[in-house]
Structure 1
Amino acid sequence: MQLPTAVAALSALAHASRLAVFRLLVRAGAQGVAAGDIAREVGARPNTLSTHLTILGTAGLIQSRREGRSIIYTADYDRMRNLLGFLVADCCAGRPEICGSLVDMAQEADCCSR
């Protein structure tokens, strides 16, 4: 991941409501969440949510698809992995114990076994 791409993604996540939306979509998995359900879950007005979704989409963090009359949003897991990789790429510098706790945290959260 290039620096400008990482900055755009981090900027998009640097807002409490957008971060809440993104975390909701990460938890939802590949099935995604309809826009109306996202709005109810995070307590956002539809027009405000639309702006947040646009910013997250422009940053490449989420994707959308139409199912009937609904628009379903999903997290872009490849972009998320790339961003996380970018953030920790240089952290070990020959000392893997520095990053070891990140792996432990992911395993404890059971996020990687799904």
Structure 2
Amino acid sequence: MSSGSKSSGASMKIVVGDRNVVPHREQFEAGLPANAEVVWSVPFDEQDVIAHLHDADVYVGGKFSAAMGAAAPRLRMVHVAGAGTDNVDRSGMRPDVQVCNTFHHEQSIAEYVVAATV
């Protein structure tokens, strides 16, 4: 179920389908232009996300299906709020859509692995 949006009449629409971003919602939205619209589909519901992707510029989430890509003709970027992009099916999206992930977590992962082996 969607839980609101920041603005209407937006120049940029962002659909968020990742519960891991929710704790950062205030900071996330504060960094956006005032006329950006943010739709939160948390917990992730693919049909709800698809309903909002028709005019979205950006999708933030860990899962992205071919059906989601086909429903998003304006999409410019898929951002995975994590390390891997293996749950992003690019087959339904235009070839010029950028797929990005989060980085700079390598040291903390390495520290965890070392600690877990001890």
| TM-score under structure 2 length normalisation | 0.27
Higher relative contact order (CA 8 A, sep 6+): 1
| TM-score under structure 1 length normalisation | 0.28
Relative to total residues, which structure has the larger helix share, 1 or 2?
A: 1
Relative to total residues, which structure has the larger strand share, 1 or 2?
A: 2
